[in-house]
Structure formats: C-alpha cells, structure tokens
Amino acid sequence: MFPKIPRVLRLAPLALLLSGCNMVIMDPSGDVAMQQRDLIIISTILMLLIIVPVIVLTLVFAYRYRHTNTAAPYDPEWSHSTRLEVVIWAAPLTIIVALGALTWVATHLLDPYRPITRLDAARAVPVESRSLTVEVVALDWKWLFIYPDLGIATVNELAAPVDTPIDFRITASSVMNSFAIPALAGQIYAMPGMMTQLHAVINKAGVYDGFSANYSGAGFSDMNFKFHGLSQADFDKWVATVKASGSGAMDRAHYLDLVKPSIKVPVERFDGIDNGLYQAIVDQCAEPGRTCMSDMMRSDSNGGAGKESGATAPGSATPRAADPQRLNSGARLPPAP
C-alpha cells in the first residue's frame, strides 16, 4: 500500500506550472503599460469590495442559520427590511459609479491615438522632444518595421531609445492581425486598407517580446519579434549597424517578395526605403498597375463614371456630362439612350 498523501501536497506539483508564467503585464517597463496595470489593480480592488463581503456573508449566514442551530432567530413571515435593501443596493451602485468614472477617464487618457504627454509618473514629455515614427506592417507571417525618418527598415526586429515617445502607424498586408508588446503598451489591431496608431514610451533598457495577438493562419505561432529598448547612444549604434549591414533598400521589389507567405522568417535589415511604400501598402496598391483605394474612393465620391473619370457613355464618343447635384446626393446617372 502506498502511504496516504495529504491533499495539500497533491496540489503542490501544480505550483510548478505557475513558475513558468511571465507576469510582464503586472510588471511592465513602459509608462502606458504601467497605467494599464494600475487600472487593472484598481478595478479589481473596487470589485473585490463587493465580492469579498458577499462571499463572507454567504458563509456566515449558512453557518448561523443552519438547521441544527436552534439559537438563531426563526421568522418565516419576514419579507422586507428597508435598511437591508439600502445596504444591498447602495454599495454596488457606488462601486459601479466609481468604476464608470475610472473607466471613462482612463479610456481617454490611454487612447492609443492620443500622443503621450508624460514619460512616466514623475516626468512630462519635454517640449523639444521628437517622437520616433515607426511604420508597422503585419505580413504573412512576419513583421515589417519601417523607420521613415531614419531611412531604414527591418523584419522581425524592432528597437527604440529609452524615454523617447514612439508613434506607431500600423497596417496589414492581407488579413487582420494584432500588434502586441505587453511590456510597452496594450495590443492594437492591424487591418488591411486601414492605418491604426499606438503611442507609447519604453522606460527601461532591455529586450522584450512582441508578437501577434490575433490568429491569422498557419504561421501565426511563429509570428514573433524582439523589441529592443536601448539608450540613445546604443540606439544610434543600432541604426548605424542596420545601415552598414543592410541587404539593400526596402523598395517595391523587395516588398513584393517579402509579402509572400512564409514561416519562421529570420531577422532582416534594409539600409534604405522607398518613401512611398508604406502609403502604397495602406492604399493596397504596392503591386505595379493596381489602382489605389484612395483613387477608387475619390472616383466614387465624384459619382463613379463622372466627368472627372473621363468615362464615356455607352455608344457615345464623348464623356457624359455629370450633374453635380445628382452626384452629390448619391444618385446615379440614368443609362444613356
């Protein structure tokens, strides 16, 4: 016979599973992520102000009014207590109001489109400070990072100087994805034909995990990258290294080759960029000969086959005249006789 193992000791091996957990969300290195962590903690405490007393009172009532406790008052005709009703409803209502106010304020302060106004809780962003712009493209299944002001681009490698505001401009090449660096800020979606934004700042030097937080197909599990938080001097060295060791410019040809689906793509660096590439990716017209979305929308806003498009009516050799009133109202021209 095996010796009887206490129940507590049987659960001990489960603690080993928790030892591998990464608590980066509760111990982040960027001010935006820190504010999000504080919001989680405050919200949890406010909710526990109701949850804990309810659990305790449930156990107390169950014990006090148990069938065998003849000393407890027994009142089968009891139906109402104004004092008890006030306590039951006032406390949760107060918590809901507090949570609503906290959420409203935090939603505006932590809006990813809103430029950050502080480096951390004790320091505002200096007036003379310039943000680092990074154009992010979610591909199948890797990440392309373009630094338009520095003239470089990288694949599956991202770097930024400590205490410098970062302006991420994010899009995708094909399917919706999600850009996430938990130590830096919350995740935000990357969508084809659209550009989302995220403003953040890293406060501690280090190497942090970045990944896709939205399932996007076969290579999703390997769609990871490293984010390097560097001192300004180390970041300048990194930029110089990229320019010195880059494999040419990130132009249309390189992009069209990169956009093909691939898995476990190694880090790649480019020492130049096509200045119009990112806008072409957002406009879904990086391929030669493809009409840009902005051009199609402009044509549609002018009535489609209107005078601006120079289109001709069927059976006519001259462009059909457009009626501005009808085009502005969204009405379509009748077919030509």
Question: Can you give the pLDDT at residue 315?
Answer: 44
> Number of structural domains, the chain?
2
DSSP 216-275: -STTGGG-EEEEEEE-HHHHHHHHHHHHHH--SEE-HHHHHHHTS--SSPPPEEESEE-T
At 187-213, the pLDDT tens digits run 999 999 999 999 999 999 999 999 999
**Residue 98 belongs to what domain range?**
22-67+82-109
255 in any annotated domain: yes
Give the pLDDT mean for 276-303. 87
Same domain, 191 and 273: yes
Mean pLDDT of 280-300: 87
Q: Which two tokens stand for residue 86?
A: 């006030």
Question: Do 177 and 236 share a domain, yes or no?
Answer: yes
212 phi and psi, to 5 degrees?
A: -90, 130
- 174: three-class secondary structure by DSSP: coil
pTM of the entire structure?
Answer: 0.78
Q: For residue 174, what is the domain's CATH number? A: 2.60.40.420
Q: Does residue 173 sit in the same domain as residue 86?
A: no
Final residue in a domain of this structure, among 233, 267, 282: 282
Same domain, 104 and 239: no
Confidence bin at 300 (pLDDT 50/70/90): confident
Residues 176 and 267 in one domain: yes
Q: What is the pLDDT of residues 327-336, one digit of tens each?
A: 333 444 444 4
Q: Are residues 272 and 173 in the same domain?
A: yes
Residues 178 and 87 in one domain: no
Residue 6 pLDDT class (50, 70, 90 cuts)? low
Say yes or no: 272 and 128 in one domain: yes
Residue 175 has pLDDT above 70, yes or no: yes
Check pLDDT > 90 for residue 232.
yes
Instruction: Verify that 145 and 221 share a domain, yes or no.
Output: yes
Query: Is 319 a domain residue?
Result: no
The mean pLDDT value for 208-219 works out to 92
pLDDT confidence of 131, banded at 50, 70, 90?
very high
The answer as to whether 312 is a domain residue is no
Do 59 and 165 have their domain in common? no
Choice among 194-208, 215-229, 299-313 with the minimum mean pLDDT: 299-313
253 and 151 housed in the same domain: yes
Tell me, yes or no, whether 89 lies in a domain: yes
Q: Are residues 217 and 274 in the same domain?
A: yes
Percent of the residues in the chain that have a pLDDT greater than 90, as a whole number: 61
Out of 41-50, 62-71, 227-236, the most confident range is 227-236
- At 208 the pLDDT is 96
Quick one: pLDDT band at residue 312, thresholds 50, 70, 90? very low
The answer as to whether 14 is a domain residue is: no
d(C-alpha 72, C-alpha 100), whole Å: 40
